[in-house]
Chains A and B, each alone.
Chain A
Amino acid sequence: MLRLDKVSVSIEGVRVLRKVSCEIIARKTTVLIGRNGAGKTTTLRAIMGLIAHDEGSIHLDADDLGSRPAYTRARSGIGYAPEDRRLIPELSVEENIRLPALALNLAKPEIVCRLDEIYTLLPELHVMRSRPAGGVSGGQGKMVALGRALMVARKVLLLDEPFQGLAPALALDYARTLGELRKHRPELALLITESSPALLDRVADRTLQIERGEILVPSTKDDKAHVHEV
């Protein structure tokens, strides 16, 4: 579904990704594992078009994403929840979640339908929907960012280190939500980055390892690829 082919990225002259090739498949949860600085976030940012790649190509089905500006990713159905949440603090939780719907100019019934789906999946968001996003805790903010990404994600959902900095109870909640999401939206292709493989053991269908900007284990089509020890 989403295919990276020999993608190389440099930041200020330093190669951060070296010929990264991988495929993110519909109905599968792919976990990208790597240490801090290995290139996980850069991979997601390259997919989102937030950072230019020097060479290689990124395709969503037949569409060449590389030649299009960043804002078209949402239109293609790629949802993205960055590690640092990046909510608009002065807007309420629900206004933050609705923001992509405004940007994409979705019809009212469609917005209500997607919002219902998000609240079913993440009932805690419904409870705090009218609180300002600036006033929620870091962990709750991650849930809001997930909700906002789900408003967009029709085909692909990219989650950058969702467990980073979550309290153990919240992490468990989050993992359970990802399981529910699989059931509710089986067609989604999920790409989750994480530094520790243990956290996503039960969620992952496939595991990719990234080290110094290179993917170590080529993507396998097996349902249960083995997790390499870091």
Chain B
Amino acid sequence: MSNAIIPLLLDSLASAALIFFAAVGLTLVFSVLRVLNVAHGSLYSIGGYVAASACLFIASRQLNPYLSFAALLFSAVFVAAIFGPLIERSLVRWTYGKSEAVQILITFGLFLILEDLQRLVFGVQSLYEDAPMRLLGTSSIGGVVYLNYQILLVGMAVLVVVGLRLLINHTRLGRLITAVVTDREMAQSIGIDTNRIFILAFSLGVFLAALGGALSTPTSGIAPGLGADTMVLAFAVAAIGGLGQIEGAAVASLIVGLARVLAIYLAPSLDAVAPYAAMLVVLLIRPYGLFGSVTARRI
């Protein structure tokens, strides 16, 4: 058992990183817009499809394989620039201030549309191109061979936590976002165009989801149904961390990642249940999540 601990921990870290990208976008959008976007998982899978298609294109044309790293990042930017403003302006903005039931119904409708749209555009077969993973090779940690690409994933997740915290605490945009999160009306009164902040925050959330989807393709490929799976996992993570909590999402991702990997090692049939069992335990003890409370800072 003890020699299984190291690969176990490293596996759970990489799996936590991917869940984190999806969950942090969800939690960010929720804290600024106060809308739980049920279609968030679809944007993760769209990011995956676009990235996998781009990497397959690069491979088929025998272009410089290192371009596929740029393709992963650029796919996320592309998806965010197209879908972020479009979805926020056309659908999400009509749900501001409405009841949660309306918000969930509308974004669920969007989820159904996006899922079918993906089948229409990318087909129902799975896409897989592992060039980025192969290029980075492997390392041996404590005698266990490990994919460098997975270490890169963990590094990217850490970068996102630090980057978001810097953005929110130390930039003009971050200050304006904090003001909107704390008090929308006051934010307007002091001259903040809240609609602009909503578009930016929503697009940033889409970017993070699409980035997660894009980064997941070199190791696990992409197939229909990923959007729904991701959504449910991301929601579990956001709930464990406390909705709206960035660091909470990071810690909760680790918990869920660890729970899943432990289940796979110890009782593979419980893999799908493990994240929700973790959520159940946490919410029974802390109903607002690990970092959430009625009065805690909101972003």
Contact = CB atoms under 8 A, between A and B. Distances in A.
A71 B172 contact: no
Contacts of B186: 82, 86
Given A88-B178, A91-B178, A100 B183 contact: no
A11 B113 CA distance: 37
Contacts of A103: 176, 179, 187, 190-192
A70 B186 CA distance: 10
Contact of A99 (B175, B194, B297): B175
Nearest to A88: B182
Nearest to A50: B185
B193 interface: yes
Contacts of A105: 172
A148 interface: yes
A167 interface: no
Contact of B190 (A49, A90, A99): A99
Interface in B179-202: 179, 182-183, 185-195
Interface in A68-112: 69-75, 80, 82, 86, 88-91, 95, 99-100, 102-105
A188 interface: no
Interface-central residue, A50, A88, A104, by most chain B CB under 10 Å: A88
B189 A50 contact: yes
Interface size range of chain B in the complex: 10 to 19
Given A71-B194, A90-B297, A50 B178 contact: no
A71 B175 CA distance: 16
Interface size range of chain A in the complex: 20 to 34
Nearest to B183: A86
Contacts of A72: 191
Interface string A134-165: 00000000000000100110000000000000
A194 to B, nearest CB: 20
Interface-central residue, B183, B186, B194, by most chain A CB under 10 Å: B186
Nearest to B171: A102
A125 interface: no
A50 B187 CA distance: 11
Contact of A152 (B179, B182, B190, B194): B190
A148 B190 contact: yes
A48 interface: yes
Contacts of A75: 191
B192 A71 contact: yes
A48 B189 contact: yes
Nearest to B173: A102
Interface of A: 48-50, 69-75, 80, 82, 86, 88-91, 95, 99-100, 102-105, 148, 151-152
Interface of B: 172, 175-176, 178-179, 182-183, 185-195, 297
24 contacts: A50-B189, A69-B188, A69-B195, A71-B191, A71-B194, A72-B191, A74-B189, A74-B191, A75-B191, A82-B189, A86-B185, A88-B179, A88-B183, A89-B182, A91-B175, A99-B175, A100-B191, A102-B175, A103-B176, A105-B172, A148-B190, A151-B190, A152-B190, A152-B191
Which A-B residue pairs are the 5 nearest by beta carbons? A74-B191, A100-B190, A103-B191, A70-B188, A86-B186
